[in-house]
Chain A
Amino acid sequence: QVQLMESGGGVVQPGRSLRLSCEASGFTFSSYSIYWVRQAPGMGLEWVAVISYDGSNKFYADSVKGRFTISRDNSKNTLYLHMNSLRPEDTAVYYCAKDENSSPQYWGHGTLVIVSS
């Protein structure tokens, strides 16, 4: 079955960097676009970024553009989110999700990022 497992979250100081990973299994990873979606504590869902199946197309929310970079390694079935210049407002649970019909169908369990001094 489809599984997505995020990792790499933790507590980080403002201005520092962090890299999240999302390991996929149960489907042909190299055939699907993958999203990052985040959820601040007690808040709703916010789309962060998406990458096409081959990594040739990447799109970002305005709130992270220029600071976050999405990438993937299809040989490792792994998606990444490189987060630079972190701000307190980036504090959230970060989910990766597999695209199907231009919408995130399967979601991971999420990884918590806390940006605090």
Chain B
Amino acid sequence: VVLTQSPLYLPVTLGQPASISCRSSQGLVNINGNTYLSWFQQRPGQSPRRLIYRVSNRDSGVPDRFSGSGSGTDFTLKISRVEAEDVGIYYCLQGSHSPPWTFGQGTRVDI
């Protein structure tokens, strides 16, 4: 399964919304009926941090300005109002058809 993110670079304005797309080469509903698509944030110089799991579930401590949506082959990470601390690289990851687990190429978000 190949995940294609767009855009690869996203200039953003503080306080404005932002959106990242993740498209899969095949549908991500697995034989159990679950969709294992998650999103990660990697701030400069830091380890990745998971934001969203199973398409739309926010991890504990993740601000509610982050939301995930989508189905089938098309998925989106949205930031409702960008803050300065949101600068970094965002990755999607699929586990529906694993192994292997596959990441998207990453989207760089910058002010």
User: Interface residues, chain A, CB within 8 Å of chain B?
Assistant: 35, 37, 44-47, 50, 59-62, 95, 97, 100-110
Contact = CB atoms under 8 A, between A and B. Distances in A.
Interface in B13-61: 34, 36, 38, 40, 42, 47-50, 53-54, 57, 59
A103 B49 CA distance: 11
Given A45-B48, A95-B47, A95-B48, A103 B102 contact: no
B63 interface: no
A99 B103 CA distance: 15
B82 interface: no
Interface residues of B, number: 26
Interface of B: 34, 36, 38, 40, 42, 47-50, 53-54, 57, 59, 89, 91, 93, 95, 98-106
B59 A59 contact: no
Contacts of A37: 48
Contacts of B93: 45, 47, 103-104
A71 to B, nearest CB: 17
Given A45-B103, A59-B99, A62-B100, A103 B36 contact: yes
